[in-house]
Amino acid sequence: MIIVIDGPAGSGKSSTAREIADRLNIQFLDSGALYRALTFLWIRNNKPDKATFFEILPETDLKTEYRNQTFFVNANGDDITSDIRSHNVANYVSKVASWPEARAFVNQYMRNLVQKNAYVADGRDLGTAVFPDANLKFYMDASIEERARRRFAEMKNSDPNVTLEEVKDNLRSRDQADQNRKADPLKKANDAIVIDTTGKTFEEQVQEIILIIKEKLKL
Ligand code: CDP
């Protein structure tokens, strides 16, 4: 079974999906973390040209695991879970995610996982491009001000020097890039249920989605 939650950065997809996974006792899959991992590896390899990067990428043993509300990412034995959240990675991730080769790699990785377990996954194009036959699709959104405030609060630990304005600028430019890229842009699927989280508490948005899941999937 696969439930997908798409939406722009900071709309609350990831934290909501984690909570849903825990309450329904299923796995959580963070597609953005996979794009961030590729971006981190590209930066760590000194930003090689695309062809070189996709030649060396298959040599990387990329492993993911969800436990204790954290989506762990490991590359060749290194735990890169917190490295992939840096502002530097955020600045390059939409570029890397616009490469069709990166999308093919991440999509294949996710489809392999979903064959083995029940998942709730969050991303940009899961309901449209990756899992068009998902059991249930949500599209989460919120105002840019609210999304920037949430993300800023989250980044205080990993990046104490970043400002609210920088976070807002990053969200704005990623929204732009994600919506306008040629390869699988951020887009609401026709059959996705829209959840606007502006002004809602975390518990309210989780409850709303859980109720819909239970009703539609008879869980
Ligand atoms: O958590 P946040 O919304 O900041 O972003 P993320 O989910 O970690 O995703 C980081 C970036 O990966 C996004 O800005 C997109 O450029 C890209 N991405 C994508 O293209 N397709 C997905 N399914 C998920 C993420």
Instruction: Judge contact between 8 and 150, C-beta under 8 A.
Output: no
The DSSP symbol for 142 reads -
Ligand 1: residue of 174, 179, 187 to mutate (most ligand atoms within 8 A of CB) is: 174
> Which sequence spans correspond to the domains of the chain?
2-217
Distance (Å, whole) CA 94 – CA 113: 23
Query: Closest residue (by CA) to atom 3 of ligand 1?
Result: 9
Query: Closest residue (by CA) to atom 1 of ligand 1?
Result: 9
94 lines ligand 1 (CB under 6 A): yes
181 lines ligand 1 (CB under 6 A): no
Q: pTM (2 decimals)?
A: 0.91
Task: State in Å: Cα 201 to ligand 1 middle.
Answer: 23
CATH numeric code, 2-217: 3.40.50.300
Per-residue pLDDT of the chain (219 residues; tens, 9 = 90+): 999 999 998 899 999 999 999 999 999 999 999 999 999 999 999 999 999 999 999 999 999 999 999 999 999 999 999 999 998 999 999 999 999 999 999 999 999 999 999 999 999 999 999 999 999 999 999 999 999 999 999 888 878 899 999 999 999 999 999 999 898 999 999 999 999 999 899 999 999 999 999 999 987
127 lines ligand 1 (CB under 6 A): no
CA nearest to 84, candidates 126, 56, 42: 42
The whole-angstrom distance between residue 215's C-alpha and the CA centroid of its chain comes to 25
Distance (Å, whole) CA 41 – CA 80: 10
102 lines ligand 1 (CB under 6 A): no
CA nearest to 171, candidates 199, 191, 154, 152: 152
